[in-house]
Structure 1
Amino acid sequence: RAGLEQRAAATQARELLELLLDTSHVVSKVEKLIKELPTAPSDSSDVEDRSVDKGYSGNDTTSPNVEAGTDVRETQSILLERIASEMNRLKFYISHAQNLPFIENMEKRVQGATKLLDGSLERCFVVGLEHRDAKVIYNCLRAYAAIDNTSSAEELFRTTVVSPLIQKIVPQNYAKAVSGVSSDDLEDDYEQIMQCVEKDCKFILEISSSANSGLHIFDFLANSILKEVHSAIMKGKPGACSPGKPKDFLRNYKASLKFLDFLEGYCPSKSAITKFRSEPAYTDFMRLWHVSVYFSLRFQEIAGGLDGALTATISPVGVNENQMKQKTLLLKQSIKLLESLQSCWSDDVLVFSHSDKFLRLSLQLISRYTTWLSSGLAARNASDGSTSSPADSEWALSVPVEDFIYVMHDVNAVIGELSESGDFVGRVNQLLASCPIEVLTLVKQSILQAVEPLKELLPSIMDVMIGVIVKRSNEDLKHLKGITATYRMTNKLPVRHSPYVSGILHPLKVNELPCLVFCFRSTDSILA
């Protein structure tokens, strides 16, 4: 047993010694390779100077100095990729030999080598970007991937290529935007940015998404392009994201979604799109758009408009009573209801991501209109008058019975508009066509269920009109008691009808009979 323990200890000591030797060897190798880097110029300027000294003429068709500069950059990038690979290997060794005195003594050497590598790699990558050298960029990206430092490459591309382009499009001085030099509109800016991406950024996107390159870990779309656009908007056009101007906000928000769709078009796969959307830069950009605040403002605007209309007095709007059309709304309250419902689903108001909230608002508008009607009808039927009636019922207490025909007509028209065959349900289903069929079915059912209480009010409206007519007829029927008194006063038979007979049908002859006929016809058409 003691022998086995000694053998195990010896094996462990040998493995540790080999690890330390490998670590020392890699550090020395990295330092040696780094020392070779200064002999390789970072750009072609030194090569051009040497080529002039050697007598190259600037009138040559093929410029030898350009070719030499390209070769030098490529050689340097290959060397940097090799150094990065060794640095990755060194990090692996150090992670397995932590807290050892030998490793701690080498810490300064490792830090110095890392600093030199980062600086040389940065210069080489920037030069490659400036010259659009695909081979140099490819090698540098592989080097960044080897040392697990993708963020530095993304930041260099942003500051070197993307930032100068965006600054020419979006003003970086907010004072200029306020003074009127630039508006808060983003549509034209996005169009120019998309052209720049297609022209000046596509090359690196193609390199990083090439098959079997191992460069898919880079996300220049989010961490370079989108991040710079976000920064430019915040500095130059902060008012573009303000929901205080709902129309401008919605226009800019939709333009931003279109821009994001454009960027996602460069993602080679669904997994790449998922990765793009999960990046912090994407999340931060979406936080610019306070859609919930926008909806709150629209809610106040739409719901407040309907409430204002419901508190007004009832009067027909611009339609002759003798020329009423069954599909035409006559009361401004009903007109405002349909306008509010249509506004919820108009292109100038609706935000698709919040369509559930706009559906809820639509149902609340229908419920509010139904409550307004039911409260008025209940107050009209009450025997104690209007002394303790709620505010919603004041319209029914003051309106003449003849105007209830307009109420009946509008309720029928609203029910028809919100029915399964109506335009409103078709419009909503069209806008939500991308949703599953189960969702569309639930949306349609919710709208139809919201209309059911409105249908139940039709008999109540009829009862109110019938009750008023009956009450008025009772006043005339009271005079029938005088007929018996007339017969008792004389034994002669009357030679003409009693004057009270003509008054019995007076209420029906004046206004109410045509109203009742129309109401019965309208009710029959709805129930059919």
Structure 2
Amino acid sequence: MNEVVPFAPPDSCLTREDFLGPDFSPDAILTRQPNLERLREDLGLYLKILRSAVLRLIDEDYSDFLELSSNLVGLESKLSELSEPLGTLSNKLQNLLQSLFEARDSVMQALKRKEDIRARKSGLRNSERILNALSKLELILSSGTPLSGDAEERLARDINHLHFRISKCHDDEFVSLELTPRLQAVGDRLKESLESRFIAALKINEEESLKRCLRIYGTIESIHEAEILVKNKIISPSLEDILHEDAFNDEPLGLKGVYANVLNIIPETLDSLLSLTISRSNKPVVIRGYSFLINSLWEDFVEKMEDNMSFVFAAGNPEAFLTHYRLSIEFIKDFEKELNNDPEQISKFRSCTSYSTFIGRWNLPVYFQIRFQEIALPLEKALTDFFDPTSYSNSDYHLEVFNVVTNSLKKVWDPSIYIDALLHRSWKLTLQILSRCGTALRDILKPIMIEEEEHQHSEISLRTLIHLWYDIRHLTLHFESDVYNPYIFPVLKESVQDESLRSRLLESVNESLGSLRPQLDDLSKLAINKVTFKSLESLKQVSEIPRLYRRTNKDVPTKHCVYVNKVLDPVRKFKDDGASESEWLVKILSRISEDYYVKVSEVLEAVLKMEESLKRLKRIREKSDASTLPGSSSLNADEKIRISDNDKIRLQIKVDVEYFNQSIQEGFGLQSNGDISKLEDLMRIVNEATKDIPV
């Protein structure tokens, strides 16, 4: 075919393979072509090529085509002649197959009837054997003589065998109404005899007899009945004397003594049984399948705790509840030790319904809610009075709210409150306490910051802001050393064995603490604004210096003005209130120096303009005087060295600036050369302004 079909033109969007492929699809060709008009043209062109190829093929093999057409003449009549005998043969084959199928079905039905007959015969023979065996067993039991241990063991084997035979019988009325009840009666008689022997052997710790009884119970598949028997006949009377309110009240050790008495039942009553059914001291288990501790002792213990000791589970008194809960968990651990710490037995114990029932009776969510209220209410009250000072003289904090926050965190993990089963809730409460503190702080600072931005200074004192800043910083910096390491980590080390998980928990706390750190910047900004606002108010008096010396004939200034101390007093008080952070002082003094520089520059510039104006006026006057009175323009020596009012103004500013610089260096330990913005420039401009003054 590849030799006959021609190739498409090179620039065509079609190829020969599009039509020769086994998965030829017109839809695929259409979806692949974006331009349908071009596709139509290429298809028309390829059709012409195909027609030419067909004509060329016919021309090349013309004789073969003629021969083929002549050979096909009369073929239709020959096919018609063959169709009739083929149809007859097909009908005969169909009839033969039908006969074979009918014969097969008949044979299968006959085989099924034969199989049913064989099964019924086998069932009848089985029933006959069962009847004979039952009759023998009933005859043995009807003698009235007590059964020996060997007889009980033989009876158990026979009963087990009869149960197996009955399971193979057809489920008909004879089996259900005749055989099964009789076998059940025989089994009950055996269990009655076995029960008395088992209890007697258990009371006198006769190991061989116990071993035989346990084997027999296992043979007749009545292991659970043996466990129930021990529970009702042996354990229940003992627990009845231990687990009731009067015994609890009379017990000097309280619940701890009650649990100890429960555990004492094991060596006193069940030791012989457990030595046969539980591996002890590397001794193999003699008889498997029994769980007397779980299905006998524990089951009855839980039932009587619920019926007679339900007050133990009450969560109304959290201290008593916690004591009872911890004693109960310790009791469970001691009980698991009696299981020889066997993982299989412990897994079975923890998965039993009674274990879940006992654990579920401890209403831990209610207990946690009570503790939550104990912790949350004082915290909320402290957050309401956020700025109250602490009442503790040796506290690391200045504000009481941070003492309450820290104590709340410690209380969450206090061993007298914390429960391992509530680890997730305790950790969540830890994060909630930190988050609540951060939220309250933001809610308090938000209106204060808005007032500051609108230049409406809030009533909060500067000392309170400083204390708040230091308390937040102390909490965020020392949380790990003050709270986590001494209080939280020891608890987590016992509860969480995964070290990576403990690290992630610490990271989550640090993230919560991180929400407090942005408030430090806001508080710094707020404190700096408050101090600088007071200082800048006094700094306005710089512009009053020219008025002090204009036409007043005052002496040359040698002492600084009062306003300089007024400018620095708020900064000094800020430092005395506890703001020892040099970064704060640098920012405050830099802002003051910047404003001081602006005001001094304005005053010096105004003085210079005034001086130049006076000089021009003086020159005009001198020219006028010279024209009228020659020789009168010469000044005497005293006039030449007399200091002008403008120079006095400059000198006063210099004295003030020098005192300002000296006070910063001596009072705050900061230098003008780089620490304080614009302070060095301030010194420079006053020195330049006074360098030509003859003092």
- TM-score of the two chains, using structure 2 as the length reference: 0.61
Question: After superposition, what is the alpha-carbon deviation per residue over 1:232-286, rounded to whole angstroms, capped at 9, x for unaligned?
Answer: 3223322111111112112111111111112222335312211111111212111
- Larger CA deviation: 100-109 vs 272-281: 100-109
Task: Determine if the alignment matches structure 1 residue 192 to structure 2 residue 264.
Answer: no
Task: Determine if the alignment matches structure 1 residue 308 to structure 2 residue 381.
Answer: yes
Tell me the residue number matched to 1:403. Answer: 464
Task: Report the 3-state secondary structure (helix = DSSP H, G, I; strand = E; otherwise coil) of the residue aligned with 1:500.
Answer: helix
The partner residue of 1:121 within 194, 201, 206 is 194
C-alpha distance 35-471 of structure 1, shift in aligned 2 (>3 A): farther
Equivalent runs, 1:89-488 vs 2, <5 Å: 89-104=161-176, 105-171=178-244, 174=245, 176=246, 185-209=254-278, 211=284, 213-216=286-289, 218-268=290-340, 269-318=342-391, 328-383=396-451, 399-419=460-480, 423-425=483-485, 427-433=487-493, 434-488=496-550
User: Which consecutive unaligned segments of at least 5 residues does structure 2 have?
Assistant: 1-103, 586-695
Tell me the residue number matched to 2:43. Answer: none
- How far off its partner does 1:470 sit? 1.6
| RMSD of aligned alpha carbons | 3.3
Q: Distance in 2 between matches of 1:81 and 1:398?
A: 96
What amino acid sits opposite 1:156 in the alignment? L
C-alpha distance 84-338 of structure 1, shift in aligned 2 (>3 A): farther
Equivalent runs, 1:2-41 vs 2, <5 Å: 6-7=110-111, 9-26=113-130, 28-30=132-134, 32-33=136-137, 35-37=139-141
Q: Do 1:34 and 1:116's aligned partners in 2 also have CA atoms closer than 8 Å? A: no
Runs of 4+ in 1 over 6 A off after TM superposition: 38-42
- Larger CA deviation: 309-318 vs 276-285: 309-318
Tell me the residue number matched to 2:628. Answer: none
- How far off its partner does 1:82 sit? 3.5
C-alpha distance 500-422 of structure 1, shift in aligned 2 (>3 A): closer
C-alpha distance 108-33 of structure 1, shift in aligned 2 (>3 A): closer
Q: Distance in 2 between matches of 1:348 and 1:516?
A: 39
Q: Do 1:165 and 1:196's aligned partners in 2 also have CA atoms closer than 8 Å? A: yes
C-alpha distance 239-481 of structure 1, shift in aligned 2 (>3 A): farther
- How far off its partner does 1:435 sit? 2.2
- How far off its partner does 1:119 sit? 2.8
Q: Do 1:82 and 1:143's aligned partners in 2 also have CA atoms closer than 8 Å? A: no
Q: Do 2:442 and 2:519's aligned partners in 1 also have CA atoms closer than 8 Å? A: yes
Q: Distance in 1 between matches of 2:226 and 2:443?
A: 68
Structure with more relative contact order (C-alpha pairs < 8 Å, separation 6 or more): 1
Q: Distance in 2 between matches of 1:295 and 1:438?
A: 27
What amino acid sits opposite 1:459 in the alignment? D
- How far off its partner does 1:519 sit? 7.5
Number of matched pairs? 470
C-alpha distance 290-318 of structure 1, shift in aligned 2 (>3 A): closer
C-alpha distance 266-334 of structure 1, shift in aligned 2 (>3 A): same
What amino acid sits opposite 1:312 in the alignment? D
Task: Report the 3-state secondary structure (helix = DSSP H, G, I; strand = E; otherwise coil) of the residue aligned with 1:490.
Answer: coil
C-alpha distance 359-183 of structure 1, shift in aligned 2 (>3 A): farther
C-alpha distance 87-504 of structure 1, shift in aligned 2 (>3 A): same
C-alpha distance 239-423 of structure 1, shift in aligned 2 (>3 A): same
C-alpha distance 456-247 of structure 1, shift in aligned 2 (>3 A): same
C-alpha distance 519-306 of structure 1, shift in aligned 2 (>3 A): farther
Tell me the residue number matched to 2:572. Answer: 509
Q: Do 1:27 and 1:90's aligned partners in 2 also have CA atoms closer than 8 Å? A: no
Task: Report the 3-state secondary structure (helix = DSSP H, G, I; strand = E; otherwise coil) of the residue aligned with 1:316.
Answer: coil
C-alpha distance 440-498 of structure 1, shift in aligned 2 (>3 A): closer
Q: Do 2:462 and 2:574's aligned partners in 1 also have CA atoms closer than 8 Å? A: no
Task: Report the 3-state secondary structure (helix = DSSP H, G, I; strand = E; otherwise coil) of the residue aligned with 1:517.
Answer: coil
- How far off its partner does 1:185 sit? 4.2
C-alpha distance 101-226 of structure 1, shift in aligned 2 (>3 A): closer
Q: Distance in 1 between matches of 2:362 and 2:583?
A: 52
- How far off its partner does 1:424 sit? 0.8
User: Which consecutive unaligned segments of at least 5 residues does structure 1 have?
Assistant: 43-71, 387-395, 523-528
- How far off its partner does 1:128 sit? 2.5
Q: Distance in 2 between matches of 1:24 and 1:520?
A: 108
Q: Distance in 2 between matches of 1:213 and 1:15?
A: 41
The partner residue of 2:160 within 70, 78, 88 is 88
Q: Distance in 1 between matches of 2:153 and 2:431?
A: 63
Q: Do 2:156 and 2:220's aligned partners in 1 also have CA atoms closer than 8 Å? A: yes
Q: Distance in 1 between matches of 2:273 and 2:166?
A: 33
Q: Distance in 1 between matches of 2:253 and 2:447?
A: 51
Instruction: Report the structure number with the largest CA radius of gyration.
Output: 2
Task: Report the 3-state secondary structure (helix = DSSP H, G, I; strand = E; otherwise coil) of the residue aligned with 2:332.
Answer: helix
What amino acid sits opposite 1:482 in the alignment? E
C-alpha distance 383-405 of structure 1, shift in aligned 2 (>3 A): closer
Aligned-residue sequence identity (percent) comes to: 23
Task: Report the 3-state secondary structure (helix = DSSP H, G, I; strand = E; otherwise coil) of the residue aligned with 2:417.
Answer: coil
Q: Distance in 1 between matches of 2:153 and 2:291?
A: 20
- How far off its partner does 1:24 sit? 4.3
Task: Report the 3-state secondary structure (helix = DSSP H, G, I; strand = E; otherwise coil) of the residue aligned with 2:451.
Answer: coil
What amino acid sits opposite 1:462 in the alignment? S
- How far off its partner does 1:432 sit? 2.9
- How far off its partner does 1:463 sit? 1.7
- How far off its partner does 1:16 sit? 4.0
Q: Do 1:23 and 1:90's aligned partners in 2 also have CA atoms closer than 8 Å? A: no
- How far off its partner does 1:362 sit? 0.7
What amino acid sits opposite 1:515 in the alignment? G
Q: Distance in 2 between matches of 1:451 and 1:15?
A: 82
What amino acid sits opposite 1:309 in the alignment? A
- How far off its partner does 1:329 sit? 2.9
Q: Distance in 2 between matches of 1:418 and 1:332?
A: 16
